[in-house]
Amino acid sequence: MRITDQVDRIPYTAPAEVSPGDLVVLGDMVGVAESRIPAGTTGTLTIRGEFTLPRLAVFADWQVGQACYWSPGSGGVTSSPTSNIALGVISEFSKRTDTRAKVILL
């Protein structure tokens, strides 16, 4: 097998306006908007890298390397895979009282 391209950004045509830093769900993957993307226009989503994202309230601390998921219904990072989208791994220890978490998108 040979790597044909190392992709960390993809084009995205927004059906509705997207703000810089918004997380966009694309089927079973996610991307983060690099800049404002007006409705009906094409912009760029970053699909690899480290991001600080909203964390949902849970009753446990999160460890570095722990798998995490995006909850589309609640709009935040969670440790539960149930009905959520695989996001990546936690890249910095996060206390259960934190409202944001550092995540490496995979």
Tokens of 55: 């964390």
What count of other Cβ atoms lies within 10 Å of the Cβ of residue 39?
10
Q: Residue 16: how many CB atoms within 10 A of its CB? A: 8
> How many Å apart are CA 56 and CA 13, to the nearest integer?
28
Domain ranges of the chain: 9-47, 50-105
pLDDT tens, position by position, 92-103: 999 999 999 999
Q: Distance between CA 51 and CA 101 in Å, rounded?
A: 8
C-alpha span between 106 and 101 (Å, rounded) = 15
pLDDT tens-digit map of 4-46: 666 899 999 999 999 999 999 999 999 999 999 999 999 999 9
**DSSP H or E run through 94:** none
